[in-house]
Amino acid sequence: MSAWSRSLAWAAVVALALASLAWPPPRASAPAPLLLLGPFAELCAEVQWLRFQAAQRRGEEARALELAESALALDPRASEGWQALAAHLVFDLASREREPDLARRRAAFQAGLAVLARGAERSARPQELELFRGLVLVAKAQHDPELDPRGAPALLRAAAEAFERAAELGDERAAELAAQVRAEAARDE
Amino acid sequence: MLRLSALALRRTLPAWLLLGFGALLLLAARGSAGPPLLEADESARACLRALARQNVWSVLLVLAPLLFLQAARLGTPAAKAWLAPAPARPAVLALVLALGCSLACLAVTTLAALVSEAALASTIATAPAWRRAGELESPPAVLLDTAPSLRWSAPRCAPGRRLRLWTTVAPGSGPAVTARFTARAGVRASVVEQRIAGRRALELEPPLAEDGALELELERIGSGALLVLPPHALELLEPVASERLTALALGTRAFLFLTTGCALALGLARRMRASLAAATVLALALLSWSTTGAGGFVPGGDFPRAWQELGAGLVPTPAPPWSLAGALVLAALGLALQAPPSMGKELPA
């Protein structure tokens, strides 16, 4: 290899090194505690989920919800966490057997849907959360349609929209479910 | 001697440790400031404030092993070799070093108390805070369809106190049930009714009984799950002037625990390596936390109970007076271990 070609190769290496410094790969934006905890954030989130379960068992609902929120702040990419919190809100706290008061049930249900919406923005697998949202809405349309003032058809329409979003995001099962639920909503109307 | 104390303070709490501690405190305080997902009543808000306080104070517990290690490093023969020509007696030198460690413990405890209360400055309730005053007798029972109510008596309560009855539902018997808790004193009665779907407390202010006992009744209303009254279910709560007394209750325990631990680590470090001395003190602390009855006289030994009370949204009871005596005895033991002249071969730091 001639001296010229060796120099050219070295120049290319230096140029690439400088380029990687000048244009670093994009970093996911994260709050300060997350950046500080770094690789331990997921482990800390797991600990917070354990504390969430313990607080739930002790009947400390407000504390449990706060711990779940902190777990999600530490590890927002895990869709299982968003699903766990949303399921607690919509199936436990907004259940007819547990909470006879409709206004409080609706508040818990809306909070659960809001959690799923936030999760769909931040999670690594938003299609799972959209699919879960659709399933929640179908279940509530069947068993507690009063949760929406417009009744079961409105819940089914919202479920169909959620399934369609899940299908757009790449979930193979969701398109079929969307068509089925839309037909069900049309029959109810 | 004052300068030696200041040196011990700086060695026990060096700038890097103080800065790291401050940064972690601020992060812990900021991490607990989110709005609640659901509208919370006063009791739930008290629990959320308790969680925020726990987040901040837990940083101090994480720091404890480092403080013990720093104090132990101060007490090794190699670290104090330069003090050998000093005219002061070894006991006085040990006391001065321990005083510096104690000042470091006071500084970190005060900092944790200030940050925890400052973080909650805008959310402190106007409603009275509560403290656990004791436990009253209650018969453990399961309320079945055939016997849906249970009656028992309790001694009368002082005015302003509340009763808190913990209930739950039997696993597998259904998702929820309505429970009614009644306290009667003659013709007067106080009642609270709630839906129970897991462990949940029923709280009421009992009517004033001029003489005689309170008649208590727990009822299962309508159909649903089987209602369970677990053992040790009835607590007596008393009002306290302010929730901020939490900082005093936890701070006293933390200060006594850290100061005693540092004094012991300082003393043990004369006989063993600094890391082993710190680990021994930490192991003794864990032992006292897991030993029933140790909380009465071991400084910080009742920390888990106070932590549990705080988690339930209550102001922890003040540290037991005997723990101060225990702290003095243990600190004196640490000084006695540190004070005598070394014998035999000295270990490296």
Q: Give the pLDDT confidence of A44-73 residue by residue, as tens digits.
A: 899 999 999 999 988 889 999 999 999 999
Residue B125 has pLDDT above 70, yes or no: no
How are beta strands B227-229 and B214-221 bridged, if at all? unpaired
A101-110, B21-30, B102-111, B289-298: least confident range: B289-298
Expressed in angstroms, the distance from the first to the final Cα of chain B is: 23
Tell the residue number behind the tokens 């699903």, with chain if given: A83
pLDDT at A121: 92
Distance, in Å, from the CA atom of B84 to the CA atom of A183, rounded to the nearest integer, reads 91
Query: All domains of chain B, ordered by start, with CATH?
Result: 2-125+243-338 (no CATH), 131-240 (2.60.120.260)
pLDDT bracket for residue A36 (50, 70, 90): low
> CA torsion angle for B69, B74, B79, B82 (degrees, to 10)?
170
Residue A26 has pLDDT above 60, yes or no: no
Of B111, B108, B127, residue with least CA distance to B119: B111
Nearest-CA residue of chain A relative to B24?
A33
Distance, in Å, from the CA atom of A186 to the CA atom of A183, rounded to the nearest integer, reads 5
Residue B339 has pLDDT above 50, yes or no: yes
pLDDT bracket for residue B349 (50, 70, 90): very low
More confident residue, B324 or B128: B324
Position B186: which residue type?
G
Position B78: which residue type?
A
Select the residue of A32, A93, A115 nearest B27 (Cβ to Cβ). Answer: A32
Residues of B with CB under 8 A from a CB of A: 27, 30-32, 34, 36-40, 44-45, 47-48, 50-51, 168, 174-176, 195, 197-201, 224, 311-312
Please report residues of A whose CB lies closer than 8 A to that of B31: 33, 70, 73
Mean pLDDT over all residues of chain A? 87
Mean pLDDT over all residues of chain B? 88
Of B254, B313, B239, residue with least CA distance to B53: B313
Nearest-CA residue of chain A relative to B30?
A33
Give the number of residues written for chain A. 189
Please report residues of B whose CB lies closer than 8 A to that of A98: 175-176, 195, 197
- Are the C-beta atoms of B156 and B213 separated by less than 8 Å? yes
Question: With a CB-CB cutoff of 8 Å, which residues 110-129 of chain A face chain B?
Answer: 111, 115
Q: How many CB atoms lie within 10 A of CB A151?
A: 14
For residue A160, the distance in angstroms to the closest alpha carbon of chain B comes to 26
The DSSP annotation for B86-111 comes to -SS-HHHHHHHHHHHHHHHHHHHHHH
Distance, in Å, from the CA atom of B178 to the CA atom of B197, rounded to the nearest integer, reads 9
Which pTM does this prediction carry? Answer: 0.80
Q: How many CB atoms lie within 10 A of CB A14?
A: 10
Question: With a CB-CB cutoff of 8 Å, which residues 148-177 of chain A face chain B?
Answer: none
Instruction: Spell out a b/e string for A91-101, using b for 16 or more CB atoms within 10 Å of the CB, else e.
Output: bbbbbeebbee
Of A139, A183, A143, residue with least CA distance to A160: A183
What percentage of residues in chain A have a pLDDT greater than 70? Answer: 91
Tell the residue number behind the tokens 């709050």, with chain if given: A31
CA distances from residue A72 to A158, B301, B336 in whole angstroms, order as listed? 25, 34, 50
User: Which site among A47, A51, A58 would you substitute to test the B interface, given the most B Cβ atoms closer than 10 Å to its Cβ?
Assistant: A58
Residue B321 has pLDDT above 80, yes or no: yes
- Are the C-beta atoms of B336 and B330 separated by less than 8 Å? no
pLDDT bracket for residue B28 (50, 70, 90): confident
pLDDT at A38: 67
pLDDT at B4: 83
Of B272, B282, B308, B304, residue with least CA distance to B291: B304
User: In A145-188, which ranges are E strands?
Assistant: none
Residue B249 has pLDDT above 90, yes or no: yes
Cα angle B320, B324, B329 (rounded to 5 degrees) comes to 135
Distance, in Å, from the CA atom of A88 to the CA atom of A106, rounded to the nearest integer, reads 14
pLDDT bracket for residue A110 (50, 70, 90): very high
